[in-house]
C-alpha cells in the first residue's frame, strides 16, 4: 500500500468519538507512542525486519546479519510497515523478481535463508514462516498480528516517562496519544507499560485505525484529531515526537510547540546528534518547520511545557517559541536547540 498524499483533514472521515468543547486557553501535551512513551520501536522493528528479510532481493544468510538488522531498524524506525513493504516490492520489481505474495503463496523462499530467518524469529517468540503460511494471512495482516503478540510482553516504558506523566498530571495538564500505529497494537502496549491510568481508550488516537482511509504521518490528521479530542487548540498544544515523519505531522497540524525526543533505545548514543539534527531540519513538513527543541531525558519535557504554557498565557506568542538561557541551563540532560531561539 502506497503512502497516501496529504489532503485537507476535513476530507478525512474520523471514526473517533465526538469531542467536548474546545478550550482556547488550555495547554495540552500530545505524545507519539512508539519510541517516545513506549520503548517499542526496537521490538516492533525486529518483527518487521524478520517478516521482510526472506524477500529482500539480496537476501542470503551472510547478508541477513545482526548488523544488517540493526541498520534496518535504525533507518526505518517510525515508518509505517506498508511503506517498508512498498520499498521491498519496488526493489524486487527492479531486480526482475516476483512479488512477495507470489513467493509466499508458492513457498518459494530460499531454504537456507528461511532456516536462518526462522531461527531469528524464534528469539522473539515468533513461529516459523511455514507455520504462518498455513494461516492464509497476507504479510501486512501477519506483521500487525505478530507485532501485537510481541509487544504484549516486550513493550516497556521509555526511561523516566512514568514519573513525567505523573508530574504532568499533578500540574493539571491533560494529554493523549497521537500515533500512526494501529489498534490494538498501541492499547496492548499501553497495558504492557502500565499506562492505563493516563491513557484510557478514548485518549489513544491512531492515524491507521481512526480514519477511513488511514492517515499516516506526516499527514496532520491524527494530531488535529488528538488536539480536538483533548479539547485544545493546535496552537496551544505540545507535540512530543521521536521521528521525522511525526515531527512533520505535528508541524503540518500547526502544533504550538514540537519537542523532539532521542532517548529511546532505537537511537544509539553515536547517532543521537544526527537524529536530533534531522528532527530539527523539518524535511517532512510542508513549510520546513522542524522540532523546536530536542531533549534526551524525558524529565526535561516538564519545564519546557511549563515555559510554553507561560508564553501562551501571556498572550505574547508571536512566531517561534523562544527559550530563556536559564531554562536551558536548568535541564537535567543534553538538549538541542537553534541558538537563534535562545534569549537571556
What is the model's pLDDT at position 335? 98
Considering the domain architecture, whether residues 28 and 166 belong to the same structural domain is answered as yes
Q: What is the largest CA-CA distance in the chain?
A: 67
- For residue 58, is it within any domain? yes
Considering the domain architecture, whether residues 215 and 240 belong to the same structural domain is answered as yes
Low-confidence ranges of the chain (pLDDT < 70): 1-20
- For residue 244, is it within any domain? yes
Considering the domain architecture, whether residues 86 and 183 belong to the same structural domain is answered as no
What is the model's pLDDT at position 158? 97
What is the model's pLDDT at position 9? 41
- For residue 319, is it within any domain? yes
Considering the domain architecture, whether residues 169 and 184 belong to the same structural domain is answered as yes
Considering the domain architecture, whether residues 197 and 307 belong to the same structural domain is answered as yes
CATH number of the structural domain spanning residue 177: 3.40.50.1000
What is the model's pLDDT at position 314? 85
The Cα 161–Cα 271 span in angstroms is 21
What is the model's pLDDT at position 3? 32
Considering the domain architecture, whether residues 143 and 181 belong to the same structural domain is answered as no
The Cα 266–Cα 60 span in angstroms is 25
Considering the domain architecture, whether residues 182 and 267 belong to the same structural domain is answered as yes
Buried b (16+ CB within 10 A) or exposed e, 12-47: bebebeeeeeeeeebbbbbbbbbbbbbbbbbbbbbb
- Count of structural domains, the chain: 2
What is the model's pLDDT at position 6? 39
- For residue 89, is it within any domain? yes
Q: Among 124, 139, 35, 32, which Cα is nearest to 77's?
A: 35
Amino acid at each position: 500500500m502506497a503512502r497516501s498524499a496529504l489532503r485537507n483533514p476535513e476530507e478525512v472521515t474520523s471514526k473517533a468519538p465526538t469531542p467536548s468543547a474546545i478550550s482556547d486557553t488550555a495547554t495540552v501535551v500530545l505524545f507519539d507512542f512508539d519510541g517516545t512513551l513506549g520503548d517499542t520501536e526496537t521490538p516492533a522493528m525486529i518483527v518487521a525486519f524478520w517478516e521482510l528479510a526472506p524477500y529482500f532481493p539480496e537476501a542470503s544468510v551472510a547478508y541477513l546479519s545482526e548488523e544488517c538488522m540493526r541498520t534496518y531498524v535504525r533507518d526505518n524506525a517510525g515508518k509505517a510497515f506498508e511503506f517498508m513493504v512498498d520499498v521491498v516490492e519496488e526493489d524486487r520489481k527492479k531486480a526482475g523478481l516476483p512479488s512477495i505474495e507470489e513467493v509466499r503463496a508458492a513457498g518459494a523462499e530460499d531454504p537456507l535463508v528461511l532456516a536462518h530467518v526462522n531461527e531469528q524469529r524464534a528469539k522473539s517468540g515468533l513461529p516459523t514462516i511455514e507455520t504462518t503460511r498455513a494461516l492464509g494471512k497476507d504479510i501486512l495482516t501477519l506483521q500487525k498480528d505478530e507485532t501485537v503478540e510481541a509487544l504484549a510482553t516486550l513493550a516497556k516504558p521509555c526511561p523516566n516517562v512514568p514519573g513525567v506523566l505523573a508530574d504532568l498530571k499533578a500540574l493539571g495538564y491533560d494529554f493523549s496519544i497521537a500515533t500512526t500505529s494501529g489498534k490494538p497494537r498501541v492499547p496492548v502496549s499501553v497495558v504492557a507499560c502500565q499506562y492505563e491510568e493516563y491513557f484510557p481508550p478514548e485518549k489513544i488516537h491512531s492515524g491507521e485505525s481512526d480514519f477511513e482511509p488511514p492517515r499516516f504521518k506526516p499527514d496532520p490528521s491524527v494530531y488535529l484529531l488528538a488536539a480536538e479530542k483533548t479539547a485544545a487548540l493546535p496552537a496551544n498544544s505540545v507535540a512530543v515526537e521521536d521521528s521525522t515523519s511525526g515531527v512533520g505531522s505535528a508541524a503540518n497540524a500547526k502544533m504550538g510547540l514540537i519537542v523532539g525526543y532521542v532517548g529511546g533505545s532505537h537511537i544509539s548514543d553515536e547517532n543521537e546528534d544526527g537524529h536530533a539534527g534531522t528532527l530539527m531540519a523539518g524535511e517532512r513538513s510542508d513549510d520546513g518547520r522542524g522540532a523546536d527543541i530536542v531533549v534526551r531525558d524525558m524529565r526535561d519535557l516538564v519545564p519546557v511545557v511549563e515555559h510554553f504554557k507561560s508564553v501562551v498565557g501571556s498572550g505574547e506568542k508571536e512566531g517561534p517559541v523562544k527559550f530563556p538561557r536559564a531554562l536551558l541551563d536548568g535541564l537535567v540532560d543534553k538538549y538541542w536547540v537553534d541558538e537563534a531561539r535562545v534569549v537571556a
